[in-house]
């Protein structure tokens, strides 16, 4: 009976549905996953955030049953830092994530294939010199050129990787296609016989479990899952159910605590359900009109009913702007939203918009590449989406490493003519609060990106 290794990515910072968990909740989830006998817990990627560092150190010290794997970043310095953070773990691993598809190599990372291979070799050798267990995660592997993918796998193994993971982002292959994909890698890379191959199959179109089984049958040793199905990954519960119904007959099993599975996953889901919980926004219509002589206290109550919690300085700014606007026109609920966005919660920007590129048509899915500047360094995000705005917002979230619930998105014209200025209002819900941002541009998408980043900066500043 082959034991399939299970890596859980619930606490990996890039997984969008879990990022608003606070420190205590993340630690509790890690403990529950360890109780579940999860083989590997993935954390990171590491950042300059001290809270992330403390979390990794704490999980490494507290969790003994599971191997702690930390994403090591893209530099030798970040790898060394990751090794230091995970040093207290009984079983530890460093993961290096390397893009291998043309779109991610050249469009997102601005690197040619040769440069990617050089970086792969350099970083893997560095990590292997510091820690015995190194995993190389090949990002967007199913859309890579086959010969380049084979070369990348060989390079990683020769450079010291003990585990190779293939990340499927597309999620469009069927069982037979994924089986052939894995089979061809084994045929063309005989060096794989000495290391473990794991897969991360996108469940975007509900094919994740099926393709995970295809990979195992073709020779893979492990799969990446999520306790809650976050980040388009198959859920642990669904995969275990499939193992019990189908896998055992084929000779596959997992070391997970099946008897406590529902109870432990229930505890994790309970933590998730309580995270970011908030009352629904007010049911008042957007065009509701407010009196021009409301008091500061009344404005504060209205703002609170909309989900905002303003300090005294912010309230003063909002009230002053309300009086100015009310002297010229009737103030509606949407007007008040814009007043809050533009007059309050102004913070030093952590992220500023550098550049962006959006491609959209009625034939191909919208793609957005966004570059943001933080601390003098440029960060790139690339994502697909249901339209250019959705793709751009998801690209921003990829950079920030956090997922936000979009509560509202409004576009309005503030000037006339062909060169009309567009104003966008974005409302993000995070930890039970509403954070709004405003953006102005002749380009609607540009205005939306600036509004989203404006709101994100307020969330980051408060955190």
Asked if 73 and 127 touch (Cβ cutoff 8 Å), the reply is: no
Token pair belonging to 212: 């995970």
The helix-helix angle for 333-343 and 312-326 (nearest 10°) equals 130
How do residues 296-311 score in pLDDT, each as one tens digit? 899 888 888 776 667 7
Token pair belonging to 153: 């796998």
Inform me whether the pLDDT recorded for 69 exceeds 90.
yes
Give whichever of 253-257, 267-271, 342-346 has the largest mean pLDDT.
253-257
pLDDT above 90 as % of the chain = 49
C-alpha span between 54 and 30 (Å, rounded)? 14
Token pair belonging to 385: 């989406």
Q: In what order do the strands lie in the sheet with 405-413?
A: 405-413, 422-430, 433-441
pLDDT above 70 as % of the chain = 86
C-alpha span between 324 and 187 (Å, rounded)? 72
Token pair belonging to 283: 């049911």
Inform me whether the pLDDT recorded for 17 exceeds 90.
no
Inform me whether the pLDDT recorded for 345 exceeds 90.
no
C-alpha span between 179 and 186 (Å, rounded)? 11
Asked if 216 and 2 touch (Cβ cutoff 8 Å), the reply is: yes
How do residues 105-163 score in pLDDT, each as one tens digit? 988 788 999 999 999 999 999 999 999 999 999 999 999 999 999 999 999 999 999 99
Inform me whether the pLDDT recorded for 13 exceeds 80.
no
Average pLDDT over residues 342-364: 79
Asked if 307 and 429 touch (Cβ cutoff 8 Å), the reply is: yes
SS3 42: strand
How do residues 365-401 score in pLDDT, each as one tens digit? 889 999 999 988 999 999 988 889 999 999 999 999 8
DSSP state of 245: I
Q: How many helices and strands in the chain, by DSSP H and E? A: 16, 18
Question: How far from 365 is each of 202, 230, 358, 384, CA to CA, in Å?
Answer: 17, 22, 11, 7
> pTM to 2 decimals?
0.61
């Amino acid at each position: 009976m082959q034991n399939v290794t299970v890596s859980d990515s619930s606490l990996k910072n890039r997984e969008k549905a879990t990022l608003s968990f606070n420190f205590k909740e993340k630690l509790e989830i890690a403990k529950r996953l360890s109780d579940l006998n999860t083989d590997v817990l993935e954390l990171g990627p590491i950042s300059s955030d001290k809270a992330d560092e403390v979390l990794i150190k704490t999980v490494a010290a507290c969790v003994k049953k599971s191997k702690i794997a930390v994403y090591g970043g893209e530099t030798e310095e970040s790898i060394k830092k990751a090794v230091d953070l995970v040093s207290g773990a009984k079983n530890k691993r460093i993961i290096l994530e390397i893009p291998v598809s043309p779109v991610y190599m050249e469009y997102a990372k601005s690197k040619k294939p040769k440069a990617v291979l050089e970086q792969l070799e350099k970083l893997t050798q560095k990590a292997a010199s510091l820690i015995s267990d190194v995993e190389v995660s090949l990002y967007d592997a199913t859309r890579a050129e086959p010969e380049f993918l084979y070369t990348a796998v060989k390079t990683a193994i020769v450079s010291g990787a003990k585990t190779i993971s293939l990340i499927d982002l597309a999620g469009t292959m069927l069982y037979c296609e994924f089986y052939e994909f894995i089979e061809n890698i084994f045929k063309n890379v005989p060096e794989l016989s000495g290391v473990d191959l794991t897969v991360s199959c996108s469940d975007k179109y509900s094919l994740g479990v099926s393709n995970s089984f295809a990979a195992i049958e073709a020779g893979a040793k492990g799969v990446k899952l999520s306790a809650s199905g976050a980040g388009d990954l198959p859920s642990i519960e669904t995969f275990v159910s499939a193992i019990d119904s189908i896998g055992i007959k084929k000779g596959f099993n997992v070391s997970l605590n099946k008897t406590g599975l529902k109870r432990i996953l229930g505890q994790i889901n309970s933590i998730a359900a309580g995270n970011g919980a908030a009352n629904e926004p007010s049911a008042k219509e957007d065009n509701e009109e407010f009196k021009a002589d409301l008091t500061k206290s009344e404005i504060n109550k209205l703002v609170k009913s909309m989900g905002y919690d303003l300090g005294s300085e912010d309230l003063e700014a909002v009230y002053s702007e309300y009086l100015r606007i009310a002297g010229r026109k009737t103030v509606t609920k949407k007007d008040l939203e814009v007043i809050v966005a533009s007059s309050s919660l102004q913070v030093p920007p952590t992220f500023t918009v550098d550049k962006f590129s959006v491609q959209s048509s009625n034939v191909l899915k919208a793609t957005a590449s966004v570059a943001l500047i933080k601390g003098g360094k440029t960060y790139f995000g690339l994502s697909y989406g249901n339209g250019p705005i959705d793709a751009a917002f998801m690209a921003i979230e990829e950079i920030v490493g956090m997922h936000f619930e979009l509560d509202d998105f409004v576009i309005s014209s503030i000037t006339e003519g062909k060169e009309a200025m567009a104003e966008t209002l974005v409302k993000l819900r995070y930890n039970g609060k509403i954070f709004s941002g405003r953006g102005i541009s002749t380009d609607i998408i540009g205005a939306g990106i600036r509004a989203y980043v404006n709101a994100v900066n307020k969330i980051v500043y408060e955190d």
